[in-house]
Amino acid sequence: MDPLLSTVEYAMGGLQLRLDTVANNLANLNTPGFVAQKVDFETSLGIALASGRGAPGVGPAIVNSEDVPDDTGNTVNIENEITEMTKSSLERQVMVSAFNYKTDLLKAAAGVSR
Amino acid sequence: MTVHGPFSSIDISNTGLGYNKYWLDTIAHNIANVNTQTTPGQAPFRARIVEAMPLDTNTSLGGGIAVSDVVDQADDPAMMFDPGNPLADGTGYVQGPVVDLAEQMGNLILASRSYQANMTVFKEARDALQVTTTLGRG
């Protein structure tokens, strides 16, 4: 696959997983002892891009949050989750733009008009 | 946490939201205990004071704010003569809480407005970035 498209595909998968994780964290806002989770796809993507490949062979990493727990051991923080959600949403829009840009180029090269 | 990149404003206002929510929670605790009496000689209720710590002050941008410490208000508790009170000591005195309601109400307004101000920054930054994502769209 085209390197840019496979990179965008990987990033959008990571962003989708991050939004799902935010939803799960917020659903467990009041669950005693629940440890919030975070998604890191940037590290593996960065390594793959530096080595010249378009997308990594491994999936995004899910790591436990290191935020300060409350009295029940719960580490979900509403502000952090809303922030992650907003950032992921914005990043996804940029990914869609990049995807559309590249597919437009490929279509033009193939002589197909939208 | 070091903030950088296009989401700096969002990350920084996030730290402000977290700090001011913590401050609001502490004020709620202090106001809830505005009538908490104790027997003289025991530890009185002491209002909790949240201390702030700016983050990443060695960088040009800065990284927002965090709670550095929570300390007890050090003033002496008021003594009230109330011999009928079950908490009274042998001389008939009870010990009041170390919390100034007027001060707490002032802090409540400050914390609430600060939270709203950080939320405004968050929304403005989000809307600005939203426009940025439409760059180059025909």
Q: What is the pLDDT of residues A48-107, one digit of tens each?
A: 989 887 788 888 999 999 888 888 999 999 999 999 999 999 999 999 999 999 999 998
**CB-side exposure of B67: number of CA atoms within 13 Å?**
18
Of A80, A87, A97, the CB nearest to B137: A97
A24 part of contact set with chain B, CB < 8 Å: no
Instruction: Tell me whether residues B137 and A94 touch, CB distance under 8 A.
Output: no
Alpha-carbon distance B63 to B84, whole Å?
54
Task: Output the pLDDT for position A52.
Answer: 82
Of B7, B122, B133, the CB nearest to A97: B133
Pairing, β B65-72 against β B79-81? unpaired
Query: Which residues is B54 bridged to in the sheet?
Result: B65
Contact B67, B51 (CB under 8 A): yes
The H-or-E segment that residue A45 falls in is helix A42-50
Query: Most A CBs within 10 Å: which of B133, B134, B137, as the mutation test of the A interface?
Result: B133
A87 part of contact set with chain B, CB < 8 Å: yes
A90 part of contact set with chain B, CB < 8 Å: yes
Instruction: Tell me whether residues A97 and B122 touch, CB distance under 8 A.
Output: no
Average pLDDT over residues B53-77: 90
Task: Output the pLDDT for position B38.
Answer: 95
Of B14, B130, B137, the CB nearest to A79: B14
Query: Lowest-pLDDT range, B16-20, B49-53, B84-88, B133-137?
Result: B133-137
Of A83, A97, A101, the CB nearest to B10: A83
The SS3 assignment for A11 reads helix
Task: Output the pLDDT for position A66.
Answer: 87
Q: Which residues of B touch A86 (CB under 8 A)?
A: 10, 122, 126
Assign B138 a pLDDT band (cuts: 50, 70, 90).
Answer: low
